[in-house]
């Protein structure tokens, strides 16, 4: 009798898991964007209406695994695309763990390499995983789902630092824009004010977005009132740890956001922030 009940239990588990998988694979009308709570760093999970997934950055450490586990179904062990905005620790520290835990089909990075051990490990993991490996180029447009596009707005090669010093990875951050019908999300990586000003001059029409991922965790070396007014987002997201040695976000950045009349949310206050778009509006 105990074997019979054991068989029934296993059959029940199989049935529930199968129906969950079917439900998950059924196309949705919603695009979801999770700004993951990974402490002092960036990690953003995009899930298109057809289920395709993109992870932008992986936070500073393995905390991204916990955050992904909460945002994704327990049976989902694949990610279609990982985009590294730039190779700083707080953006790629958790990516080797992501490659260990998930099947990653594609990987995009800027034309900027680092000499750190975590970057070298990540490059080896990309090769080991046999992921399609692409260098980001301005103008690249990736279709995630019918009507959903991820566009590379800017992807500079290594450029000089703010005072003529060694090349700074922040100046080479990938700037990406996610568009679903009349809604859009602008992801700024750690772009500096210098890079923002270049975008204002050359691509101001491409900057308008419904949601802005504020650059560099709200640092004052990024972000300006002119930039916020050009983007005109309904909502701004700052990914930041509650206690960090950089004192991010800066009072100046918060002041500019308030002056521009932009509602601002921070992961240090809310944890992971999940937004949904039906192509018309963005909500929670």
Written as one string, the DSSP assignment of 25-39 is HS--S-EEEEE---S
Question: Are the CB atoms for 279 and 183 separated by under 8 Å?
Answer: yes
User: How far is it, in rounded angstroms, from Cα 254 to Cα 82?
Assistant: 30
pLDDT reading at 101 higher than 90: yes
Question: Are the CB atoms for 207 and 187 separated by under 8 Å?
Answer: no
pLDDT reading at 184 higher than 50: yes
Question: Are the CB atoms for 176 and 197 separated by under 8 Å?
Answer: no
pLDDT above 70 coverage of the chain, percent: 88
Choice among 5-9, 93-97, 99-103 with the minimum mean pLDDT: 5-9
CATH of domain 27-283: 3.60.15.10
Every domain of the chain and the residues it spans:
27-283
Question: Are the CB atoms for 50 and 80 separated by under 8 Å?
Answer: no
Determine the 3-state secondary structure of 232 from DSSP: coil
Tokens of 81: 């695309």
Enclosing H/E stretch for 97: helix 95-101
Mean pLDDT of 210-216: 98
pLDDT reading at 203 higher than 90: no
Which pLDDT belongs to residue 159? 67
Which pLDDT belongs to residue 10? 45
Q: Is pLDDT larger for residue 170 or for residue 167?
A: 170
Which pLDDT belongs to residue 205? 79
> Is the pTM of the predicted complex or chain greater than 0.85?
yes
Q: In the structure, what pLDDT confidence band is assigned to residue 9 with cuts at 50, 70 and 90?
A: very low
pLDDT reading at 49 higher than 80: yes
| Mean pLDDT for all residues in the chain | 90
Look up tokens 């730039």; give the residue: 86
């Amino acid at each position: 009798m105990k074997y019979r009940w054991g068989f029934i239990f296993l059959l029940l588990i199989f049935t529930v898991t199968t129906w969950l998988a079917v439900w998950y694979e059924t196309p949705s009308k919603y695009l979801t964007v999770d700004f993951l709570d990974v402490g002092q760093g960036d990690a953003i999970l995009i899930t298109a209406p057809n289920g395709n997934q993109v992870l932008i950055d992986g936070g500073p450490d393995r905390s991204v695994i916990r955050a992904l586990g909460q945002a994704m179904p327990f049976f989902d062990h694949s990610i279609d695309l990982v985009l590294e905005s730039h190779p700083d620790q707080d953006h790629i520290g958790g990516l080797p763990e992501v490659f260990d835990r998930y099947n990653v089909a594609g990987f995009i990075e800027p034309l900027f390499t680092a000499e750190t051990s975590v970057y070298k490990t990540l490059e080896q993991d990309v090769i080991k995983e046999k992921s399609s490996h692409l260098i980001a180029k301005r103008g690249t447009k990736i279709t995630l789902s019918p009507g959903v596009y991820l566009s590379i707005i800017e992807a500079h090669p290594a450029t000089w630092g703010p005072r003529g010093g060694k090349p700074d990875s922040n100046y080479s951050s990938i700037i990406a824009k996610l568009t679903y019908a009349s809604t859009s999300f602008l992801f700024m990586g750690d772009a500096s004010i210098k890079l923002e000003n270049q975008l204002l001059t050359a691509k101001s029409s491409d900057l308008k977005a419904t949601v802005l991922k504020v650059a560099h965790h709200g640092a004052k070396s990024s972000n300006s009132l002119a930039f916020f007014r050009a983007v005109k987002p309904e909502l701004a997201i700052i990914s930041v740890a509650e206690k960090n040695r950089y004192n991010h976000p800066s009072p100046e950045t918060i002041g500019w956001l308030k002056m521009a009349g932009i509602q601002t949310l921070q992961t240090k206050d809310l944890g992971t922030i999940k937004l949904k778009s039906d192509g018309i509006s963005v909500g929670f």
